[in-house]
Structure 1
Amino acid sequence: MGKRRKQNLPAKPSQVVNPVSKSPVIGTFSHIQGEINVSPLPKPSDFEGYERVLPGAASRLMEMAEREQRALIELRQQDAQLTKQMMEYDYKSFRAGQWMGLVVTIFSLAAAFVLAYRDNNIAAAGFGVTGLAVLVGVFLRNRFVPNQQEQKNP
Protein backbone atom coordinates (compact mmCIF):
# COMPACT_ATOMS: atom_id res chain seq x y z
CA MET A 1 0.00 0.00 0.00
CA GLY A 2 1.66 3.14 -1.18
CA LYS A 3 1.72 6.35 0.79
CA ARG A 4 0.52 9.46 -0.93
CA ARG A 5 2.66 12.55 -0.71
CA LYS A 6 0.97 15.87 -1.00
CA GLN A 7 2.88 18.48 -2.87
CA ASN A 8 2.12 22.14 -2.71
CA LEU A 9 2.04 23.20 -6.33
CA PRO A 10 1.86 26.87 -7.26
CA ALA A 11 -1.57 28.16 -8.14
CA LYS A 12 -0.46 29.86 -11.37
CA PRO A 13 1.81 28.37 -14.04
CA SER A 14 3.84 31.61 -14.12
CA GLN A 15 5.00 30.89 -10.57
CA VAL A 16 6.79 27.67 -11.64
CA VAL A 17 10.49 28.36 -12.23
CA ASN A 18 13.06 26.17 -13.98
CA PRO A 19 15.74 25.50 -11.32
CA VAL A 20 18.58 25.64 -13.87
CA SER A 21 17.71 28.66 -16.03
CA LYS A 22 15.61 30.48 -13.38
CA SER A 23 13.04 31.30 -16.05
CA PRO A 24 9.27 30.79 -15.61
CA VAL A 25 7.88 27.56 -16.95
CA ILE A 26 4.48 27.36 -18.53
CA GLY A 27 3.20 23.89 -19.16
CA THR A 28 1.07 21.04 -17.96
CA PHE A 29 1.64 18.65 -15.13
CA SER A 30 0.60 15.06 -14.87
CA HIS A 31 0.31 12.84 -11.85
CA ILE A 32 1.16 9.13 -11.93
CA GLN A 33 0.26 6.88 -9.03
CA GLY A 34 1.17 3.23 -8.73
CA GLU A 35 0.39 0.47 -6.28
CA ILE A 36 2.08 -2.87 -5.74
CA ASN A 37 0.35 -5.81 -4.11
CA VAL A 38 2.76 -8.39 -2.66
CA SER A 39 0.21 -11.03 -1.83
CA PRO A 40 -0.97 -14.14 -3.64
CA LEU A 41 -4.49 -12.72 -3.49
CA PRO A 42 -5.85 -9.40 -4.72
CA LYS A 43 -7.35 -6.82 -2.38
CA PRO A 44 -10.98 -7.37 -1.31
CA SER A 45 -12.11 -4.46 -3.48
CA ASP A 46 -10.46 -6.13 -6.49
CA PHE A 47 -12.23 -9.38 -5.62
CA GLU A 48 -15.55 -7.54 -5.80
CA GLY A 49 -14.63 -6.15 -9.18
CA TYR A 50 -13.65 -9.57 -10.54
CA GLU A 51 -16.90 -11.04 -9.27
CA ARG A 52 -18.93 -8.28 -10.94
CA VAL A 53 -17.19 -8.75 -14.28
CA LEU A 54 -17.04 -12.54 -14.21
CA PRO A 55 -19.30 -14.32 -11.71
CA GLY A 56 -17.43 -17.13 -9.91
CA ALA A 57 -14.02 -15.54 -10.53
CA ALA A 58 -13.42 -14.82 -6.85
CA SER A 59 -13.90 -18.45 -5.82
CA ARG A 60 -11.66 -19.61 -8.67
CA LEU A 61 -8.97 -17.17 -7.54
CA MET A 62 -9.23 -18.51 -3.97
CA GLU A 63 -8.96 -22.11 -5.23
CA MET A 64 -5.93 -21.17 -7.32
CA ALA A 65 -4.22 -19.54 -4.32
CA GLU A 66 -4.98 -22.59 -2.14
CA ARG A 67 -3.52 -24.96 -4.78
CA GLU A 68 -0.42 -22.78 -5.05
CA GLN A 69 -0.01 -22.77 -1.28
CA ARG A 70 -0.37 -26.57 -1.08
CA ALA A 71 2.21 -27.00 -3.85
CA LEU A 72 4.61 -24.66 -2.04
CA ILE A 73 4.21 -26.61 1.20
CA GLU A 74 4.85 -29.89 -0.63
CA LEU A 75 8.00 -28.47 -2.25
CA ARG A 76 9.31 -27.33 1.12
CA GLN A 77 8.60 -30.73 2.65
CA GLN A 78 10.40 -32.47 -0.22
CA ASP A 79 13.33 -30.09 0.15
CA ALA A 80 13.52 -30.80 3.88
CA GLN A 81 13.39 -34.56 3.23
CA LEU A 82 16.16 -34.36 0.62
CA THR A 83 18.30 -32.24 2.92
CA LYS A 84 17.86 -34.79 5.70
CA GLN A 85 18.80 -37.65 3.36
CA MET A 86 21.89 -35.78 2.15
CA MET A 87 23.00 -35.09 5.72
CA GLU A 88 22.54 -38.76 6.65
CA TYR A 89 24.53 -39.83 3.58
CA ASP A 90 27.33 -37.37 4.39
CA TYR A 91 27.50 -38.63 7.97
CA LYS A 92 27.57 -42.28 6.88
CA SER A 93 30.27 -41.68 4.27
CA PHE A 94 32.32 -39.71 6.81
CA ARG A 95 32.07 -42.54 9.33
CA ALA A 96 32.96 -45.11 6.65
CA GLY A 97 36.03 -43.05 5.75
CA GLN A 98 37.10 -42.99 9.38
CA TRP A 99 36.75 -46.76 9.68
CA MET A 100 38.71 -47.33 6.47
CA GLY A 101 41.45 -45.03 7.71
CA LEU A 102 41.59 -46.94 10.99
CA VAL A 103 41.82 -50.30 9.18
CA VAL A 104 44.60 -49.05 6.87
CA THR A 105 46.46 -47.65 9.87
CA ILE A 106 46.19 -50.88 11.85
CA PHE A 107 47.33 -53.02 8.91
CA SER A 108 50.24 -50.77 8.00
CA LEU A 109 51.44 -50.53 11.62
CA ALA A 110 51.06 -54.32 12.02
CA ALA A 111 53.07 -54.81 8.81
CA ALA A 112 55.70 -52.39 10.12
CA PHE A 113 56.04 -54.37 13.38
CA VAL A 114 56.29 -57.69 11.53
CA LEU A 115 58.89 -56.32 9.11
CA ALA A 116 60.88 -54.74 11.95
CA TYR A 117 60.80 -58.06 13.83
CA ARG A 118 62.24 -59.79 10.74
CA ASP A 119 65.03 -57.18 10.46
CA ASN A 120 63.67 -55.48 7.32
CA ASN A 121 64.00 -51.98 8.77
CA ILE A 122 63.60 -49.92 5.55
CA ALA A 123 60.26 -51.53 4.64
CA ALA A 124 59.16 -51.36 8.29
CA ALA A 125 59.90 -47.63 8.36
CA GLY A 126 57.90 -47.13 5.14
CA PHE A 127 54.87 -48.97 6.49
CA GLY A 128 55.16 -47.24 9.86
CA VAL A 129 55.32 -43.76 8.33
CA THR A 130 52.40 -44.60 6.03
CA GLY A 131 50.31 -45.83 8.94
CA LEU A 132 51.04 -42.76 11.03
CA ALA A 133 50.37 -40.44 8.07
CA VAL A 134 46.96 -42.03 7.51
CA LEU A 135 46.18 -41.76 11.22
CA VAL A 136 47.17 -38.10 11.35
CA GLY A 137 45.34 -37.41 8.08
CA VAL A 138 42.09 -38.81 9.44
CA PHE A 139 42.21 -36.58 12.50
CA LEU A 140 43.38 -33.41 10.74
CA ARG A 141 41.09 -33.69 7.72
CA ASN A 142 38.36 -31.49 9.17
CA ARG A 143 40.77 -28.75 10.20
CA PHE A 144 42.14 -28.10 6.72
CA VAL A 145 39.22 -29.06 4.46
CA PRO A 146 36.34 -26.58 4.83
CA ASN A 147 32.92 -28.15 5.03
CA GLN A 148 30.08 -27.25 2.68
CA GLN A 149 28.45 -24.75 5.06
CA GLU A 150 31.65 -22.70 5.28
CA GLN A 151 31.97 -22.69 1.48
CA LYS A 152 28.40 -21.42 1.04
CA ASN A 153 28.72 -18.69 3.69
CA PRO A 154 32.09 -16.97 3.18
Structure 2
Amino acid sequence: MSNQSSGNDLSEQMRQQHRLLLSQHTVTKSSSPIPSAQEIEHYERAFPGSAERIFGMAEKEQAHRHEREKEQQDINTKAMKANIETAEANARAQDAANGEIRRGQWMAFILSLGYLAATVYLATEGMEIVASAMTLGGVAAIAAVFIRTRSHAAQKESKNKEESEQG
Protein backbone atom coordinates (compact mmCIF):
# COMPACT_ATOMS: atom_id res chain seq x y z
CA MET A 1 0.00 0.00 0.00
CA SER A 2 2.76 2.35 0.63
CA ASN A 3 3.57 2.08 -3.01
CA GLN A 4 0.08 3.13 -3.94
CA SER A 5 0.03 6.04 -1.50
CA SER A 6 3.38 7.29 -2.71
CA GLY A 7 2.01 7.10 -6.29
CA ASN A 8 -1.02 9.17 -5.26
CA ASP A 9 1.25 11.70 -3.57
CA LEU A 10 3.38 11.91 -6.69
CA SER A 11 0.38 12.49 -8.98
CA GLU A 12 -1.02 15.08 -6.56
CA GLN A 13 2.31 16.92 -6.63
CA MET A 14 2.31 16.84 -10.42
CA ARG A 15 -1.23 18.33 -10.53
CA GLN A 16 -0.22 21.14 -8.21
CA GLN A 17 2.86 21.92 -10.29
CA HIS A 18 0.75 21.80 -13.43
CA ARG A 19 -1.69 24.37 -11.95
CA LEU A 20 1.22 26.61 -11.08
CA LEU A 21 2.60 26.41 -14.59
CA LEU A 22 -0.67 27.44 -16.22
CA SER A 23 -0.76 31.14 -16.82
CA GLN A 24 -2.83 33.55 -18.78
CA HIS A 25 -1.34 35.77 -21.47
CA THR A 26 -3.28 38.70 -22.79
CA VAL A 27 -2.18 40.40 -25.99
CA THR A 28 -3.58 43.79 -26.77
CA LYS A 29 -3.18 45.65 -30.00
CA SER A 30 -3.78 49.34 -30.44
CA SER A 31 -3.70 51.47 -33.55
CA SER A 32 -3.68 54.65 -31.52
CA PRO A 33 -0.46 56.49 -30.72
CA ILE A 34 -1.74 56.74 -27.14
CA PRO A 35 -1.53 53.67 -24.85
CA SER A 36 -4.63 52.37 -23.10
CA ALA A 37 -5.76 53.96 -19.83
CA GLN A 38 -4.38 51.01 -17.80
CA GLU A 39 -0.99 51.30 -19.50
CA ILE A 40 -0.87 55.05 -18.90
CA GLU A 41 -1.73 54.44 -15.26
CA HIS A 42 1.13 51.91 -14.95
CA TYR A 43 3.55 54.31 -16.67
CA GLU A 44 2.46 57.14 -14.39
CA ARG A 45 3.04 55.01 -11.28
CA ALA A 46 6.44 53.85 -12.53
CA PHE A 47 7.52 57.19 -13.97
CA PRO A 48 5.63 60.17 -12.55
CA GLY A 49 4.85 62.75 -15.26
CA SER A 50 5.09 60.20 -18.07
CA ALA A 51 1.38 60.47 -18.92
CA GLU A 52 1.83 64.17 -19.70
CA ARG A 53 4.85 63.38 -21.86
CA ILE A 54 2.96 60.62 -23.73
CA PHE A 55 0.07 62.96 -24.50
CA GLY A 56 2.49 65.72 -25.52
CA MET A 57 4.26 63.36 -27.95
CA ALA A 58 0.93 62.25 -29.43
CA GLU A 59 -0.20 65.87 -29.88
CA LYS A 60 3.11 66.79 -31.56
CA GLU A 61 2.82 63.78 -33.89
CA GLN A 62 -0.73 64.69 -34.79
CA ALA A 63 0.21 68.32 -35.46
CA HIS A 64 3.13 67.17 -37.61
CA ARG A 65 0.90 64.78 -39.59
CA HIS A 66 -1.70 67.52 -40.13
CA GLU A 67 1.01 69.91 -41.31
CA ARG A 68 2.35 67.35 -43.82
CA GLU A 69 -1.17 66.58 -45.07
CA LYS A 70 -1.84 70.31 -45.50
CA GLU A 71 1.43 70.74 -47.41
CA GLN A 72 0.56 67.79 -49.68
CA GLN A 73 -2.92 69.19 -50.22
CA ASP A 74 -1.43 72.58 -51.18
CA ILE A 75 0.96 70.89 -53.62
CA ASN A 76 -1.91 68.92 -55.16
CA THR A 77 -4.03 72.07 -55.46
CA LYS A 78 -1.21 73.97 -57.18
CA ALA A 79 -0.60 71.06 -59.58
CA MET A 80 -4.30 70.86 -60.38
CA LYS A 81 -4.44 74.62 -61.06
CA ALA A 82 -1.38 74.35 -63.31
CA ASN A 83 -3.00 71.46 -65.20
CA ILE A 84 -6.20 73.46 -65.66
CA GLU A 85 -4.25 76.50 -66.90
CA THR A 86 -2.31 74.31 -69.33
CA ALA A 87 -5.51 72.72 -70.61
CA GLU A 88 -7.09 76.14 -71.09
CA ALA A 89 -3.99 77.41 -72.94
CA ASN A 90 -4.04 74.30 -75.14
CA ALA A 91 -7.74 74.86 -75.89
CA ARG A 92 -7.06 78.51 -76.84
CA ALA A 93 -4.16 77.44 -79.08
CA GLN A 94 -6.32 74.79 -80.71
CA ASP A 95 -9.11 77.33 -81.29
CA ALA A 96 -6.59 79.72 -82.87
CA ALA A 97 -5.20 76.96 -85.07
CA ASN A 98 -8.72 75.96 -86.13
CA GLY A 99 -9.48 79.60 -86.96
CA GLU A 100 -6.36 79.82 -89.11
CA ILE A 101 -7.31 76.61 -90.90
CA ARG A 102 -10.84 77.89 -91.58
CA ARG A 103 -9.47 81.20 -92.85
CA GLY A 104 -7.02 79.38 -95.11
CA GLN A 105 -9.79 77.17 -96.48
CA TRP A 106 -11.93 80.20 -97.33
CA MET A 107 -8.99 81.92 -99.01
CA ALA A 108 -8.26 78.78 -101.04
CA PHE A 109 -11.92 78.55 -102.03
CA ILE A 110 -11.97 82.19 -103.20
CA LEU A 111 -8.70 81.78 -105.11
CA SER A 112 -10.06 78.59 -106.73
CA LEU A 113 -13.17 80.45 -107.84
CA GLY A 114 -11.00 83.21 -109.33
CA TYR A 115 -8.80 80.64 -111.03
CA LEU A 116 -11.87 78.84 -112.39
CA ALA A 117 -13.32 82.14 -113.66
CA ALA A 118 -10.02 82.92 -115.40
CA THR A 119 -9.89 79.52 -117.12
CA VAL A 120 -13.54 79.80 -118.24
CA TYR A 121 -12.85 83.28 -119.61
CA LEU A 122 -9.76 82.06 -121.49
CA ALA A 123 -11.69 79.08 -122.89
CA THR A 124 -14.53 81.35 -124.14
CA GLU A 125 -12.01 83.69 -125.76
CA GLY A 126 -10.63 80.89 -127.92
CA MET A 127 -7.60 79.99 -125.81
CA GLU A 128 -8.65 76.43 -125.02
CA ILE A 129 -5.11 75.07 -124.76
CA VAL A 130 -4.08 77.72 -122.23
CA ALA A 131 -7.34 77.18 -120.30
CA SER A 132 -6.76 73.39 -120.27
CA ALA A 133 -3.18 73.85 -119.07
CA MET A 134 -4.34 76.23 -116.31
CA THR A 135 -7.07 73.79 -115.26
CA LEU A 136 -4.62 70.89 -115.16
CA GLY A 137 -2.08 73.00 -113.25
CA GLY A 138 -4.72 74.19 -110.78
CA VAL A 139 -6.01 70.68 -110.09
CA ALA A 140 -2.43 69.43 -109.65
CA ALA A 141 -1.65 72.26 -107.21
CA ILE A 142 -4.77 71.58 -105.13
CA ALA A 143 -4.04 67.84 -105.10
CA ALA A 144 -0.44 68.50 -104.00
CA VAL A 145 -1.63 70.68 -101.12
CA PHE A 146 -4.06 67.99 -99.92
CA ILE A 147 -1.46 65.23 -100.22
CA ARG A 148 1.18 67.25 -98.38
CA THR A 149 -1.28 68.21 -95.64
CA ARG A 150 -2.38 64.59 -95.13
CA SER A 151 1.23 63.38 -95.15
CA HIS A 152 2.26 66.02 -92.60
CA ALA A 153 -0.70 65.12 -90.35
CA ALA A 154 0.16 61.40 -90.54
CA GLN A 155 3.80 62.11 -89.62
CA LYS A 156 2.75 64.27 -86.70
CA GLU A 157 0.31 61.61 -85.46
CA SER A 158 3.00 58.92 -85.74
CA LYS A 159 5.47 61.08 -83.81
CA ASN A 160 2.90 61.80 -81.06
CA LYS A 161 2.10 58.09 -80.80
CA GLU A 162 5.80 57.23 -80.40
CA GLU A 163 6.26 59.90 -77.73
CA SER A 164 3.24 58.69 -75.77
CA GLU A 165 4.53 55.10 -75.88
CA GLN A 166 7.95 56.19 -74.64
CA GLY A 167 6.59 58.53 -71.93
State the TM-score, normalizing by the size of structure 1.
0.54
1:128 partnered with 2:145: no
Q: Which runs of 4+ in 1 moved over 6 A?
A: none
Letter in 2 for 1:104: L
Relative distance call for 1:99 and 1:133 in structure 2 (3 A) is farther
Query: Which has a greater percent of helix?
Result: 2
Shift of 1:59: 2.9
Shift of 1:110: 0.7
Any unmatched runs of 5+ in structure 1? 1-43
Q: CA RMSD in A?
A: 3.1
1:152 partnered with 2:133: no
State the TM-score, normalizing by the size of structure 2.
0.50
Greater displacement, 99-108 / 86-95:
86-95
1:51 partnered with 2:99: no
Name the count of aligned residue pairs.
107
* Percent pairwise identity: 18
Distance (whole Å) between structure 1 residues aligned to residue 80 and residue 71 of structure 2: 14
Relative distance call for 1:130 and 1:104 in structure 2 (3 A) is farther
Residues 3-28 of structure 1 show CA distances to partners (whole Å, capped at 9, x for unaligned) of xxxxxxxxxxxxxxxxxxxxxxxxxx
Map 1:41-80; keep pairs closer than 5 Å.
51-52=60-61, 56-80=63-87
Shift of 1:138: 5.1
Distance (whole Å) between structure 2 residues aligned to residue 79 and residue 153 of structure 1: 20
Shift of 1:112: 1.0
Distance (whole Å) between structure 2 residues aligned to residue 129 and residue 50 of structure 1: 86
Larger RCO: 1 or 2 (CA < 8 Å, sep 6+): 1
Any unmatched runs of 5+ in structure 2? 1-31, 34-56, 163-167
Map 1:1-154; keep pairs closer than 5 Å.
51-52=60-61, 56-121=63-128, 123-137=130-144, 139-147=146-154, 148-154=156-162
SS at match of 1:119: coil
Distance (whole Å) between structure 1 residues aligned to residue 160 and residue 93 of structure 2: 16
Distance (whole Å) between structure 2 residues aligned to residue 112 and residue 152 of structure 1: 42
Shift of 1:153: 0.9
